[in-house]
């Protein structure tokens, strides 16, 4: 620590220059302030105000605030913020021309990682943020080597700093709480401050101070409750005994407290040895509504510190989406401003003591916008800026060992030389797509099919749950003790368990929404990949026709599958003499399979099939004459579809497996869980 006159002068000048910049004062005006040459001017009045306020002592109860931090749960948001600030990653860069080069070994890095022998960098940043949140100010005492460079940083509790520098006293007066007070030169302490708008040149204003009344109220409630339960959860009472003397009253009071006070004496029977009446003076916790009051204060504290409830463990009305959104809001509006304040002080006051060309930065704590990042990745893939594997890595998927290191480019953008062919075409004629390009295209179609899959799966689970609830409710009504023997005909019973026509229509309406959305995704995929000039309105009538014919059959099949499973298990249960409870369990098992297995299979199959009809009808409307079967490009492909991979057929003729396109109406073994795609074939270049 240096106590040199030059050093002190530099520190004060630096502080004054900061104030000058903040006030917008320039040139001669500033000199007038410094020299007090115009005592009656506005500038001199401002300077006198600065002198009067700059050296004032700390606000009262600084120590009490810090002590309360460790005791009152309503200040827990301060702990959350401080811990996250301490955990933030930071980097030190050197400016080299227009480039920034990260430094791995530098005295400043070592100083911030281990600021003093008693603390790690994490503990140092944690204390700094606690002081800033509670008191609006933090002080770093710098210890220097013989060359004047900082070698240690010591955080000082704000209440240790008795006085800050003034124009005629360029020192901090610090009480080290060991009987020693020192006048520390201004240049040897870095003061981080959240300015008080009422007194911007005085001490800081912590965000916790605005909630002081609520915090103290909560503390009083907690202490009251402690005393309440200590005294057997009994409100204060007064004994009225007109016929006893004062000495008797004192003796009876002592005996009463000895026998009945304390939670271990709760609910003991009491016998009054004198004629007395008991008057209750206080209210119990129920009457005072302490639980709701403390919950209100808790919520107020979180709101004051701008901490979403999910981050403090309050998740009664939360889900994964709201939790992710809560962290984004917290990181952007709370954590980042705290880091910016510390970063600014390190850059302005600490970095120049080593090298003014260094740049200190925290990593941005705000998580990337996932939807925006996905859109960027999709655009990069479609424009040929990213390979398939790069797209997969950015979106959390594993790399493909084969076929992933390819760049996808829309075919309409690729110049292709076309040969003139005479006579009948032989072999497979395409537009020159390589195997890698086909793999990339398949991934694009698969992505389109998966776009609605998870949403449909969730909707189907809700549908099956509602169906289960209706059937269970009717089952309990129909198979009561008196009616149990009446319904031996399972088919008759099944018809009474649900309004199957309404169930059919509800499922059809549900699937129509997703069929239409997925068909649009198939049409859009064709536009993105092949740039065919076909509007969706042109193919929509054919998609609607497909939904009315094929869709009706699909819904009928799904409903009949449910009815068959119910009929089988109910018939077995009735034959075994099962009661209502066991039959209800059998129904639950049928729908457990429906919600877990069938919903996933139906969602995957139906979204894929709708994408395929959108693709197929777009090719037809675009006057594509031939089509090619593109089998699934991963290990989950059926053998029968591997055998027809790259098979080419005229657009209006079926493939050798009997299907017009992947997912077209056909045998379940060819359609269920299929993820193959359909390519257009443009004659002219042999593949």
Task: Pull the structure tokens for residue 318.
Answer: 């939360």
Distance between CA 559 and CA 510 in Å, rounded? 13
Instruction: Answer yes or no: do 451 and 573 share one domain.
Output: yes
Instruction: Answer yes or no: do 528 and 614 share one domain.
Output: yes
Burial class (CB in 10 A: 0-12, 13-18, 19+), 363: exposed
- Quickly state the pLDDT bin for 106 (edges 50, 70, 90): very high
Query: Has residue 257 been placed in a domain?
Result: no
- Quickly state the pLDDT bin for 289 (edges 50, 70, 90): low
For residues 152 and 146, the answer to whether their CB atoms sit within 8 Å is no
Instruction: Answer yes or no: do 14 and 114 share one domain.
Output: yes
Report the pLDDT averaged over residues 539-545. Answer: 89
Report the pLDDT averaged over residues 653-659. Answer: 92
Query: Has residue 256 been placed in a domain?
Result: no
Report the pLDDT averaged over residues 574-585. Answer: 84
> pLDDT higher for 251 or 666?
666
Query: Has residue 349 been placed in a domain?
Result: no
Instruction: Answer yes or no: do 87 and 127 share one domain.
Output: yes
- Quickly state the pLDDT bin for 272 (edges 50, 70, 90): low
Query: Has residue 255 been placed in a domain?
Result: no
Distance between CA 499 and CA 495 in Å, rounded? 7
Distance between CA 213 and CA 433 in Å, rounded? 73
| pLDDT for position 653 | 94
Query: Has residue 352 been placed in a domain?
Result: no
- Quickly state the pLDDT bin for 305 (edges 50, 70, 90): confident
Instruction: Answer yes or no: do 403 and 457 share one domain.
Output: no
Instruction: Answer yes or no: do 32 and 109 share one domain.
Output: yes
Q: Which among 182, 201, 220 is the end of a domain?
A: 201
Query: Has residue 555 been placed in a domain?
Result: yes
Query: Has residue 310 been placed in a domain?
Result: no
Q: Say whether pLDDT at 384 is over 90.
A: no
Instruction: Answer yes or no: do 392 and 470 share one domain.
Output: no
Report the pLDDT averaged over residues 240-245. Answer: 70
Instruction: Return the residue matching tokens 């040929």.
Output: 384
Distance between CA 134 and CA 159 in Å, rounded? 12
The mean-pLDDT minimum among 17-26, 109-118, 656-665 falls in: 17-26
Q: Say whether pLDDT at 557 is over 80.
A: yes
Q: Which among 201, 222, 248 is the end of a domain?
A: 201
- Quickly state the pLDDT bin for 167 (edges 50, 70, 90): confident
Query: Has residue 85 been placed in a domain?
Result: yes
The mean-pLDDT minimum among 74-83, 331-340, 608-617 falls in: 74-83
Q: Say whether pLDDT at 222 is over 80.
A: no
The structural domain count of the chain equals 3
- C-alpha angle with apex 298: 294 to 304, nearest 5 degrees? 140
| pLDDT for position 473 | 85
Report the pLDDT averaged over residues 418-426. Answer: 36
Q: Say whether pLDDT at 671 is over 70.
A: yes
The mean-pLDDT minimum among 29-43, 182-196, 484-498 falls in: 29-43
Instruction: Answer yes or no: do 377 and 472 share one domain.
Output: no
Distance between CA 418 and CA 425 in Å, rounded? 14
H or E element that contains 76: helix 76-87
Range of the domain at 556: 429-686
Instruction: Answer yes or no: do 401 and 494 share one domain.
Output: no
Q: Say whether pLDDT at 103 is over 80.
A: yes
Instruction: Answer yes or no: do 398 and 517 share one domain.
Output: no
Q: Say whether pLDDT at 4 is over 60.
A: no
Q: 115-119, 250-254, 289-293, 295-299 — which one is most confidently predicted on average?
A: 115-119
Instruction: Answer yes or no: do 400 and 527 share one domain.
Output: no
DSSP string, 198-223: TEEEEEE--GGGGGHHHHHHHHHHHH
- Quickly state the pLDDT bin for 408 (edges 50, 70, 90): low
Q: Say whether pLDDT at 374 is over 70.
A: no
| pLDDT for position 262 | 61
> Phi/psi at 237 (nearest 5 deg)?
-130, 160
- Quickly state the pLDDT bin for 483 (edges 50, 70, 90): very low
> Phi/psi at 70 (nearest 5 deg)?
-85, -5
* pLDDT tens digits, one per residue of 605-617: 999 999 999 999 9
Instruction: Answer yes or no: do 129 and 86 share one domain.
Output: yes
Q: What is the pTM of this model?
A: 0.45
Distance between CA 28 and CA 11 in Å, rounded? 22
Q: Which among 144, 171, 201 is the end of a domain?
A: 201
């Amino acid at each position: 620590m240096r106590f040199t006159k030059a050093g002190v002068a530099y520190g004060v000048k630096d502080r004054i220059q900061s104030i000058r910049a903040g006030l917008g004062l320039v040139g001669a005006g500033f000199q007038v302030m410094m020299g007090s040459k115009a005592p009656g001017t506005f500038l001199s009045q401002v300077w006198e105000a600065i002198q009067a306020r700059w050296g004032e002592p700390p606000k009262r109860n600084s120590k009490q605030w810090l002590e309360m931090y460790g005791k009152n749960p309503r200040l827990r948001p301060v702990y959350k913020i401080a811990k996250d600030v301490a955990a933030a990653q930071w980097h030190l860069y050197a400016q080299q021309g227009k480039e920034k080069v990260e430094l791995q070994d530098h005295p400043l890095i070592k100083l911030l990682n281990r600021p003093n022998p008693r603390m790690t960098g994490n503990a140092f940043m944690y204390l700094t943020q606690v002081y800033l949140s509670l008191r609006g100010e933090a002080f770093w005492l710098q210890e220097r080597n013989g060359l004047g460079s900082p070698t240690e940083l010591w955080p000082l509790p704000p209440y240790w700093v008795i006085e800050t520098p003034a124009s005629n006293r360029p020192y901090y007066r610090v009480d080290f709480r060991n009987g020693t007070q020192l006048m520390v030169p201004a240049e040897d302490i870095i003061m981080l401050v959240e300015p008080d708008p009422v007194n911007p040149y005085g001490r800081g204003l912590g965000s916790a101070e605005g909630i002081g009344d609520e915090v103290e109220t909560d503390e009083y409630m907690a202490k009251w409750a402690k005393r309440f339960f200590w005294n057997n959860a009994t409100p204060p009472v007064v004994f009225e005994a007109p016929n006893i003397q004062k000495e008797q009253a004192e003796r009876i009071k002592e005996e009463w407290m000895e026998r009945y006070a304390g939670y271990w004496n709760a609910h003991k029977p009491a016998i009054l040895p004198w004629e007395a009446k008991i008057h209750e003076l206080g209210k119990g916790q129920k009457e005072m509504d302490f639980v709701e009051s403390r919950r209100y204060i808790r919520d107020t504290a979180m709101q004051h510190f701008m901490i979403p409830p999910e981050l403090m463990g309050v998740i009664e009305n939360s889900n994964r989406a709201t939790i992710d959104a809560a962290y984004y809001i917290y990181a952007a509006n709370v954590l980042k401003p705290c880091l910016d304040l510390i970063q600014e002080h390190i850059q302005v006051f600490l970095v120049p003591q080593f090298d003014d060309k260094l740049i200190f930065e925290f990593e941005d704590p705000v998580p990337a916008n996932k939807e925006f990042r996905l859109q960027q990745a999709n655009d990069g893939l479609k424009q040929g800026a990213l390979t398939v594997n790069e797209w997969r890595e950015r979106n959390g998927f594993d790399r493909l060992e084969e076929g992933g290191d390819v760049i996808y480019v829309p075919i309409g953008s690729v110049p292709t030389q076309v040969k003139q062919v005479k006579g009948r075409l032989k072999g497979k004629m395409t537009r020159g797509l390589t195997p890698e390009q086909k793999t990339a295209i398949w991934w694009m179609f698969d992505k389109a099919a998966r776009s609605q899959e998870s949403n449909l799966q969730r909707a189907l689970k809700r549908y099956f749950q509602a169906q289960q609830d209706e059937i269970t409710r009717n089952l309990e009504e129909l198979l009561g003790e008196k009616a149990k023997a009446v319904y031996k005909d399972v088919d008759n019973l099944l018809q009474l368990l649900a309004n199957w026509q309404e169930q059919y229509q509800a499922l059809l309406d549900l699937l129509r929404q997703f069929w239409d959305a997925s068909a649009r995704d198939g049409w859009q995929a064709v536009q993105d990949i092949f740039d065919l000039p076909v509007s969706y309105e042109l193919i929509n009538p054919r998609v609607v026709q497909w939904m009315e014919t094929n869709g009706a059959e699909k819904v009928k099949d799904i409903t009949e599958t449910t009815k068959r499973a119910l009929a089988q298990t109910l018939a077995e249960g009735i034959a075994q003499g099962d009661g209502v409870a066991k039959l209800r369990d059998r129904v639950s098992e049928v729908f457990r399979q429906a919600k877990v297995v069938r919903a996933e299979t139906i969602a995957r199959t139906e979204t894929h099939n709708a994408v395929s009809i959108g693709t197929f009808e777009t090719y037809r409307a675009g006057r594509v004459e031939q089509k090619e079967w593109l089998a699934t490009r991963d290990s989950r492909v059926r053998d029968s579809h591997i055998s027809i991979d790259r098979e080419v057929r005229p657009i209006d003729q079926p493939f050798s497996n009997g299907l017009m396109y992947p997912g077209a109406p056909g045998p379940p073994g060819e359609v269920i869980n299929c993820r193959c795609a359909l390519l257009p074939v443009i004659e002219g270049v042999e593949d």
